[in-house]
Structure 1
Amino acid sequence: MHLFLLLILQLPAASGQIDPEHCRYALGMEDGRIPDQDLTASSRWYETTGPQYARLNSEDGDGAWCPKGQLEPSDSQFLQIDLRRLTFLTLFGTQGRYARGLGKEFAAAYRLNYSRDGQLWKSWKNRLGKEVRDPNNTYGVFSNDLKPPIIARYVRVIPVTRLSTTVCMRVELYGCPWEDGLLSYSAPEGQLMMSPGNPSVISLNDSTYDGVHEKRLGKLFGGLGQLTDGVTGRDDFLAIRQYNVWQGYDYLGWRNDTPGTQGYVEMEFVFDRLRNFTSMKVHSNNMYSRGVKIFSSVSCWFKPSLSWEPEPVSFSTILDDRNPSARYVTVPLSRRAARSLRCRFYYADVWMMFSEISFQLFSFLQKPSCFLLISSAAAPSPSSSSDKTPILIGCLVTIILLLVIIIFLILWCQCVCKVLEKAVCLTACGGGYAEPDVTQCTPHQSFNNNAPHYAETDIVRLQGVTGSNMYAVPALTVDSLTRKDISAAEFPRHQLIFREKLGEGQFGEVHLCEAEGLPEFLGEGSPLPDRDGRSVLVAVKQLRADATSQARNDFLKEIKIMSRLDDPNIIRLLCVCVSSDPLCMVTEYMENGDLNMFLCQREIESTLTHANNIPSVSLSDLLHMAVQISSGMKYLASLNFVHRDLATRNCLLDRRLTIKIADFGMSRNLYSSDYYRIQGRAVLPIRWMAWESILLGKFTTASDVWAFGVTLWEIFTLCKEQPYSLLSDEQVIENSGEFFRNQGRQIFLYAPPLCPPSLFELMMRCWSRNITDRPTFEGLYQALRPHVNQ
C-alpha cells in the first residue's frame, strides 16, 4: 500500500513543443515581475534615467532608460535584462521617453544581443541576416516579431544611431519558458540538393544557427537554430512557411553519402542541468518520391556526468511508403538521466531531413508533507506515533479522495475524452448550440476519422455543384424550381468567349470569360463599369450536361439565391444561359482578381516602396477593405443568408479597390491547401471556421462573424501566411475541441504587427467561444467605419 501511494505522488510533468505564434506572453518589464536588480546598463544619464525605468508604458523616474551623453554611431551602450531562466523570446516591444509629454528622445533603431550563460554573447539576426530592428518613437509602442525566435536567459538592447544624438528607451519582452533546457545541439552542416527539373540549387542548411560553423570539418556545434525555432516544415520540403526565403529553407538535410557519416547522422545535445528524458520528438520529412524518408532507426547514448554510458537506447521506426506527409517521430528514451545526449540517426533512403527536435522530460513533483509521513509510517516511532496519527489520517483521507476523483475521471474519459480529443460529441449528446451532455455519449457518436457522421450531410452540401461555395438560405424551397422562377435575363451563349478555367466541382466548372456586348444587353442600371463598347470579364458557372437531376435542381436553386442579391459589395448575378444545356450563370468578375493574391504581392506603403516602385498598400487601404467586407456581410445577414466560406480568396476587387464578396474560392486549385478534405467527399475551410461549425456542422451568421475575424487577420498580415500556419489540419480540429472545452488551452491567431490594438480586440471578439458574445455584422460595420476617412 505504501509503495502504491508513493507511485501516486510521483506523477510525471511533461513539457510540450513550443508554438511561436502562441508563445507571446509579456515577461514582466511593464508589470514589474522582472525586478529592478535584474536590470543593468552600461551607463545612465542620471539616477532617474537608470535601467530600472526602462519599463514599457511606465512614467516613473524621468520616464525611460537613457545612456549617458550623446550616443555616437560607434557606441555600443546597452540595457541588459536577466530573465533568470532560459526563455523562448518571440516578440520585442519598444518605446522612447515620453515623461508625461515632456520627453522626445527615442532610439532610431536598435540591435539585440543575447546569451544563455552570461559569458558567450550572440548577435540576433533575422532570417535574411539583418541585425538592426526598425525604429520607434516617444509614445507609441512598436512591436517587432523575432523571426527566428531567441532562446536565452540574458538579453542586451543596444540602441543604434547614424548621428550623434540623445537616446532613451522603454522595452518589453514577450515569449514563454524554454522548458527543454536545451543549450545547444551539434550536427553535420546541411547539404545542397540538385533537384531534377528544378534549375536552382536547394540549400538544406541551418541558416539561423547561432553556434560555430566549422567549415573545414563541415560541422555545427555550440548553438541552436532552425531545429528549435518552433517552425515545422511542410510535406513538400520545397514549400516554405517563411516569407522571402529560398526553397528547402525549413529543413536541415543530409545526403547518405555525406563524408564520414557511415550511414548515419550523429547529433549531440547539451542541456542546462541533469534531466530525466521521457522521449525525443523529431519532425522529419517523408517525401519518398524524391528519395527522402524518415530515419530507419536511432541510437542515443547518455552522459550524466563526465563520461558517456556504454549502453544506448535504440529505436526502430516503421517506414511508410504510402503516406508522404512529414510527421513527428517520437523516440522513447526510457526516463534515462543525462546532461548530454548523443544520437545517431540511420538513413532509410538517399536523404534525411529534420525541421524540429524537442524533448519531453520526466520530473518528480516536490514531496509534500503527506509523502514524508507515509514514508516514515513503515516504521513508526513509539514516541511520535500518537501526535502524528491525526495528520496521517488526514493525509490518507485526502489521498483516498484523490483516488476516487482519478477513477471517476478515467471512467468519464472512456466516454468523452476520445471525442473531445478530436472534436466533441454529436447532437445526441447535446443540441443546437448548448453544450453537449457528455453523460449520453456512446462510441458510435464520435468522429469517424475526420468528420462526425451526423454533420456529413450539411458539410457535403457546403460545396455547390460547380465546386463553388453554396450559401445557406433558410426556408428556400427547391422542389419545383423551373426556368420561370429565374428573374435573370437569358444571354446569348455565343457571346461568351472562354479565357481561363478558374475551378471545378463534381458536376460543373467555373470559367473566366469575356462577355461581348454585355453592358448594352443589361441596359440602364447595369452594375458594370463603362467599357466603351469593349467586352467585360465575367465569371461563368457551367453545369455539365451529364449532371444528375438533383444537381440541376441545386444549380437552379443557386441561381435563385444569387438573383436575390443586390449590394455594391456582393458579386451579382448578371444573366443566365438556361434555355439549353449546359446551364450557365454569369456573375461579375473584378479585374484585380481576388484579395488574397492582390495583398500577398504587396508590401505596406513606405518611403522604401515608393523609392523602389514596389507594389504597396496603405493602412488606410486595408481599413477600407475591412469596412467594405463588413458592409457586404451586413447585407447578407439582413437576408438571413449564411456565406459559410468568407475569406480573402472569396473577395474580388477592382482597380479602385472596390471589394465584392464572391463564392467560388472553394473550386480553385490555387487554394486547395486552404480546405480540408473529408473522406474524399467534401472540403472544409477549417482554418476559417468557428468551432461549432467544425464540431457540430452548424453554420450561422455568427459563424460567418468568426470567419470575418480570420479574414481581417489575413488582411493585416497581407496574406503572407495561412491562418494557424504552424498547426496541421488535425491540430486545427483539435484546437476547436479546446474552444469547446474552454479551459484556456485554445490557440488564437497572433496580433499582426500592422493591426491597430483596437482592431485586434475586435478580431478576438469575433472568436468568442459563446455565440452571443460575438458582434453582429451591423456592429462590426459601425465599429470599423470611423477608422476610414470618409
Structure 2
Amino acid sequence: MLRSLFLILVPPSLCLCLPFSHTHTQTLTHTHAQCRYALGMEDGTIPDSDITASSAWSDSTEAKHGRLSKGEGDGAWCPAGAVFPSASEYLQVDLRSLHFLALVGTQGRHADGHGREFARSYRLRYSRDGRTWITWKDRWGQEVVSGNENTYDVVLKDLGPPIVARYVRFYPLADRVMSVCLRVELYGCLWNDGLLMYTAPVGHVMHLSGSPVYLNDSTYDGSIESGVQFGGLGQLFDGVLGGNDFTETKELRVWPGYDYLGWSREALGQGSVDIEFHFEKTRNFHTMQVHSNNHHTQGVRVFSKVECQFKPGLLLPWSSPPLSLAVPLEDLKDPSSRPISLPLGGRPAQILRCQFAFADRWMLISEISFYSGTFSVLLSFTAFHSHSSSLLFSLSLAGLPVAKDDSSNTAILIGCLVGIILLLLAVIAVILWRQYWKKILGKVKEEGFQNDFQNGYHYLSHVSSHSYLMCVLAFQAEMSLSSSCLPPTQEEPPPYPDAPPYPALSPPFPASVPHYAEADIVSLQGVSGNNTYAVPALTSPSPTAADCTPLPELPRHCLVFKEKLGEGQFGEVHLCEIESPQDLPNLEFPFNVRKGRPLLVAVKILRPDASKNARNDFLKEGKILSRLKDPNIISLLGVCVSSDPLCMVTEYMESGDLNQYLSHRVLLDKTGPTHNTPTISYPALIAMASQIASGMKFLSSLNFVHRDLATRNCLRPIKIADFGMSRNLYAGDYYRIQGRAVLPIRWMAWECILMGKFTTASDVWAFGVTLWEMLSVCQEQPYSNLTDEQVIDNAGEFFRDHGRQVYLSRPDVCPQGLYDLMLSCWNRDCKLRPSFAHIHSFLTEDAMNMV
C-alpha cells in the first residue's frame, strides 16, 4: 500500500522517469462462448465469507447455504421476511475482482423433498466498485428474470446483455406474501480487459426510406447527461460484432441498427467523436482494434484518423503530444464492416482519450478491444540536501532492489521522507473518513426514501423512518386487503408486463392490449416532461381502440413560439400560436375559431437526442391522446413527426389552470361578499367538480389511469390535462427521489406510495384530494401540516389500519354528505372506493341539495 500511495504523493517538482516492463498478454473483449465457466458457488471456490445476504430466516438458512445443487443446512438461503411488497431482500456474491458474466443459474430449496420454497422470478443488481449499484435489464428493457417452477430443477438464464461486475445481488420477487428460498451459481470468466467505464456521446437516429435506424448504446449501464453517456459500459464492449448491413442484427426481436453505436457529423456538431476509456489499473497499450462499418452508399465510412492521449494515473497529467494515427487507405475504400487495428506503441495508461475523426456524414462502431500487457514502474527522482549536493536514489515499485548510498545521511533522509509520508497519509485518511460519514449522514437526513424500479412498477425499497419497516413486517401478519385494487368490472395490470417490441412506427402498440408505461412516472417524464396518462390493461378493445387513423401531421412553420411553459428531464412544453388555423385542413379543431383569430396551442417537444425508447413512448402517447375525444379532456390537435424534433400539439386554455383560478378567490357564503375580493359560489364549485368527474369517467371507461389528478392539471373551462409535472410553478407539489423521480405523494393513494400500484381506484383517491382542494379554494397544500416524510409514514398507517392514519379535515363550507364522499374515496380497501360514474351521478344530482 505504501508503494502505491508513494506514487501519488510525489511532489510535482520531482523528475519522473517511467521505464516499464510487461508481459505481452492479449486482452480482448470476451464473447458469450468464451465465458461460461462456473465461478465457484457450487464447487466451493467462492468462500462462505464472500456470500452475504440482507437477512436470513435462521442459522441453517444463512447466505452461505445459497449454493447451487448443495444441501447443507436447511438446503438454501431463505430471507427472514417476505419479499412482497418491498422486494428488498437479496443474496450477494463477491467475486473479489471484475468478472464478465454471461449466465446465471437458480434453484429452490429441495432439502430431500422437505423444501417447498422457490423464487418464480427475481431481479439482478450488480456493482463494479461496491458503491454504485446497477439494475440489470435485458435487451428490451425488462428487469424481471423468470425463475423456478419447482424446488429442485436448475434454471439457467443467459444474460443478454452480459454483466461486467465484482458484486452481484439476487433479489427474489413474489406477487403475494410468501416465503422464498434461493440457491444460485454464476457463469463467466475474469474480465482481463480491466475496463471500468467508457464515456462517449449518445448515438443518433438515422432515417432510411422513412424508417428509423436506432444507433444508440441501448445496453449502456451508466448515466446520460447533456447528450453524453458516462460512468458505465455498453455495446462497445459486449463482444457482438456488427455485420456489413448495419440495419440487420444478430439478436432476435431487436430493432434495426442494434449492433452498432453511430453518430451523425451534423447532429453532433463537430468533426470527431470523443471516447474516453477508464481502466482498473495502469496498463501498457500496444494495439487498439475498432470494428467499424463502411457502408459507402449511406454516407457511412470508417473514421479517417484517430488521435489518442494517455494518462498513466488518475492524478498524473495527460501525455503530450497526443498520438496521431491515420487509417490505411485500403480500410477507407473497403465497403465491408471490418476490424481496424491501430498501433498504440506500448504506452502506459490508466485513462485513454481518443478522438475519432469523421470520414463522411456518419460513423458507426460496433466493438472496441485492446491488446495490452501488465505494467510496472521504476520511479526515480532527484532530491537535494541543505548543502546543494545532489543525491540520486531510486525506489522500485515493481519489486526491484532499492539503490542505496553508503553515507548515513541517505538513511536519515529516507527515514524523514517516510515519516512525512506516513503523517500525510494519516491526515488524509482522517479527512476522507470524516467526509465520508458526513456525506452518508447527510443523505440519511435529506432523503426520505430510496427507490428501486422494475418495468412498469415502482417499489420503495425502504423509508428513512421506522414506519415502512413496520409496514413490511406487518404485511406478513395482517394482510387482509385483497391483492386486487381495481373495481370488480376491471382487471388489474399484470405485475410484470411483457417488454415492448422494438420501436415501430405503424402501429406503435397492439390494439388489443396496449401497455403504455403503466406506472413508471420517470419513464413518462423522460419522454416529454409532463405526460401522465397511462393504460394499465385492456381486456377487450374499446369502441375506439381499433382506430388506427394516422395522426394529423401539422407543418412546423405554422407554429409561432410565444413562451416556454415548462421543462422535464428530456423534453419541453411551449406555448405556441397558429396564426391562420383555417388554412390547415388536417387540423382537428377542439372548438370553432373565428376567422382571422389565432389559435393558442401547447406543443410538447421531444429532444432530438432522446433514446429510441423515449421516441417510441412519445409516438405511443400521441396514438393514445388521439383517442381521448371528450369535452372535459384536453385534445390532441396534431403532430410533427416527419422530422426531428418530434412534436405533439394539444389544446391550450387561455384562462389557465383551476389551482391558480381558485387560489385568488374567496368562497361566497350565505352572508355575501365582504370586500371587493373575487368570489365563487358553492354551486359553481360543484359544477366544475362534476365536469372533472365526467372527464375521469370517460378515462376510466377506456381503462386509462391518469396518476396525477389535481387542480393544477385541470384547465378552464374544465378540461383535464397533464402539464403540472413540467411546470416550475408546481415543483413543490412533487417529491423528488434521489434527484430523479418526482411523485405527487400528497395526492397519491397509499398503495401507490408503498407498492407502486396505479389504478382507476387510485385516481378516485386523487379525485377526493382534488375535491378537497376545490372546497378549500386552493389556499394550502393537502396535509400542509405534515412533511413529505410524514406523508409517507401516513401511507404506512393506512396499510397497517390500526386507526392512526390521518385524513384531510372537512373544509368549513363542505356539507357532511359531501365529506363522506371524500372519505369513501380514501377508503383503505380500494375495491370499496366509489366509481367515477357514481361520483359523477352524486355531484350532478345530490351535492346541490346539500347547500
**TM-score, scaled relative to structure 2:** 0.41
**TM-score, scaled relative to structure 1:** 0.44
